[in-house]
Structure 1
Amino acid sequence: MIIKGDEKLDAYTYTKTGGPADALVFPVAKDEVQEIVKWTYDHNVPLTILGNSSNVIIRDGGIRGIVMILTEMNGMKLEKNRLIVQSGAKLIDASKRALYEELTGLEFACGIPGSVGGAVYMNAGAYGGEVNAVIETVEVVTQQGERKIYQNEDLEFSYRHSKIQNTGDIVLETVFILEKGKKEKISAKMEELTELRTAKQPLEYPSCGSVFKRPAGYFTGKLIQEAGLQGKMLGGAQISMKHAGFIVNVNRATATDYINLIAHIQEIIFDVYEVKLETEVRIIGEDLLFDTEKAFIESISS
């Protein structure tokens, strides 16, 4: 297991923002995850779980306690038409493995950069597909350190939601049940979706992916665009000129820049359309406390 102390998290997030973790650990096996969870529970130490950190904003003050990143747990194996994937593997890589094995069902996920565990947590989806449609079972460890297996129907999937958001369980492994398909057809679909993603999404800049959930009856990007917000900047964060549903880091943005811009968008969209935008991105961690005494000393000495 890899352990790092007082480690800045901006190197691990897709937005390239985020303050330090008191302790950062990278388990490589299920037993290690279970041991960490039990220890933090028994000693009342805060524990935060990160996957690929593609759809998360970590505040500039960082995260207290232990942060556990699961990207070293990225194994996959095939049993007939079941693809068994550890939680730290990228969902994109799972879709590529399915293609290699000539299995259909994960084509929609070929452009989703998050981890499999994160995908289960938020019922990730794109282009009309969602992971809940191809999940058979999910193995988790509870907050108390007990391992259990959920069947699909146990997970209470809905739009960008699963039961795990309420229970706080940690995903260890997911079994995708897929169907045999033709490699050429699967590949063609993935290439089509990759081209769509490349054309529409601002992949050239750091971002947290789609910022908001889609409100019923509306398209978020269109709402933001029609409200005249596209291109708006706060600090180094900007509403993407390519897709208004994304916020990109164009000039050393901080997490605070992102969070303030999100709040500004929500305020304007509600004022104009009376539509409440809910964030799809997770915002976690602590705000950076401004040290007024230190600032005063620095100001008089300069």
Structure 2
Amino acid sequence: MIKKLKFPINDLPNIEFKTDEPLSKYTFTKTGGNADVLAFPKTREELVEIVNTARQNDVKITVIGNASNLIIKDGGIRGIVIILPNFNKIEVHDNSVTAEAGATIVDATKAAQKAGLSGLEFAAGIPGSVGGAVFMNAGAYGGEIRDCFESTEVLMPNGEIKQFTFDEMKFDYRHSIIQTNGGIVISATFALHAGDKEKIQNKMDELNEMRASKQPLEYPSCGSVFQRPPHHFTGPLIIKAGLQGKIIGGAQVSKKHAGFIVNINHATATDYMNLIHLIQKTVKEKFDVDLHTEVRIIGEDRVGEVSANS
């Protein structure tokens, strides 16, 4: 497999690689096929080495963050997959927090609270990485990353590290320019403001309690599956369509929150995809409403198998 890829991992002996690695070990859904090569760079220099080597050998690069709002298909991902758990440093400077891409957004909110900085409370329960949160313009409970974003460092496909400001990010609902320019988020800085530590913590606790009471955190899932359609709420639409509790394979429309699909019994990514397609088809037929996925879906179908909406 590596020979076919023409990616000389032996020329990069200081970088940790795993070959033919099951990505189900890294996703929140506990589904997904294998990566040809999975790389765990420890430094910016190593990350640049991987990107430059992949470009020189015409090997595709895919970056996954905390894989919390992500479905990787059962055929896995060809080329190099990069994951950044070693990029987890968080620093506080005056009224800003700078966090590396592999740090969790939850840890960034904790660092802000400890410093008495307000503005990130909305993200206290978002399970993604900082890089993924910036990439997706993650949001919850009325807040989005763009509301407190100052700048980000991005490794571009040509190996250059570039700084992006707010205006350059082209933020929209669950969208940033990083989704189209092929860059890799290295770190992000959030512009916050002074606040009372106790009040900040109370707000974070309140939002986490709301999340725990309404979301099926007891099961593996990919978070909220669908974008909210104009003039509607996704969960009630799915309930009215009679699909709450619907099971395909090992995947189920959550009985706790119909906007979530949970892995209740060794689900595959294909189970997820087929259930997503059924929901979209049924809601369209019954209510003439188009449901678009919020979850990011990547990878390939298994050989000989095609998911319903691949």
Q: Give me the TM-score of the superposition, normalised by structure 2.
A: 0.92
The residue type paired with residue 281 of structure 1 is V
Q: Deviations over 1:190-242 (max 9, x none)?
A: 11101100000000000000001111111111111111110000000000000
- Secondary structure at the aligned position of 1:252 is classed as coil
Once residues 232 and 223 of structure 1 are traced to their aligned partners in structure 2, the CA distance between those partners, rounded to angstroms, is 14
What residue number does 1:120 align with?
A: 134
**Count of equivalent residues:** 291
What residue number does 1:7 align with?
A: 21
What residue number does 1:90 align with?
A: 104
1:238 and 2:252 correspond: yes
Q: Cα RMSD between the aligned structures?
A: 1.0
Once residues 153 and 30 of structure 1 are traced to their aligned partners in structure 2, the CA distance between those partners, rounded to angstroms, is 25
The residue type paired with residue 64 of structure 1 is R
**Which of the residues 54, 64, 72 maps onto 2:68?**
54
- Secondary structure at the aligned position of 2:277 is classed as helix
Once residues 212 and 176 of structure 1 are traced to their aligned partners in structure 2, the CA distance between those partners, rounded to angstroms, is 27
- Larger mean Cα displacement after TM superposition, 229-238 or 265-274: 265-274
What residue number does 1:198 align with?
A: 212
What residue number does 1:254 align with?
A: 268
1:169 and 2:183 correspond: yes
- Write the mapping of 1:96-245 to structure 2, written as runs, cut at 5 A: 96-245=110-259
What residue number does 1:296 align with?
A: none
- Structure 1 stretches of 5 or more lacking a match? 292-302
The residue type paired with residue 150 of structure 1 is F
The residue type paired with residue 235 of structure 1 is G
Once residues 217 and 196 of structure 1 are traced to their aligned partners in structure 2, the CA distance between those partners, rounded to angstroms, is 23
Task: Give the C-alpha shift of residue 50 in structure 1.
Answer: 0.5
Q: Give me the TM-score of the superposition, normalised by structure 1.
A: 0.95
User: What percent identity do the matched residue pairs reach?
Assistant: 56
* 8 Å CA contact retained: 2:73, 2:270: yes
Q: Deviations over 1:103-134 (max 9, x none)?
A: 10000000000011111111000000001111
What residue number does 2:48 align with?
A: 34
- Secondary structure at the aligned position of 2:49 is classed as helix
Once residues 158 and 278 of structure 2 are traced to their aligned partners in structure 1, the CA distance between those partners, rounded to angstroms, is 38
Once residues 217 and 42 of structure 1 are traced to their aligned partners in structure 2, the CA distance between those partners, rounded to angstroms, is 48
Once residues 33 and 220 of structure 1 are traced to their aligned partners in structure 2, the CA distance between those partners, rounded to angstroms, is 39
- Structure 2 stretches of 5 or more lacking a match? 1-14, 306-310
Q: Deviations over 1:75-114 (max 9, x none)?
A: 1111111111000111111111111111100000000000
Once residues 209 and 29 of structure 1 are traced to their aligned partners in structure 2, the CA distance between those partners, rounded to angstroms, is 30
Q: Deviations over 1:168-205 (max 9, x none)?
A: 21100101111110011001101110110000000000
Task: Give the C-alpha shift of residue 29 in structure 1.
Answer: 1.5
Q: Deviations over 1:50-77 (max 9, x none)?
A: 1101011111111111110012211111
What residue number does 2:300 align with?
A: 286
Task: Give the C-alpha shift of residue 290 in structure 1.
Answer: 3.3
Q: Deviations over 1:129-166 (max 9, x none)?
A: 00111111111011121110000111011111111111
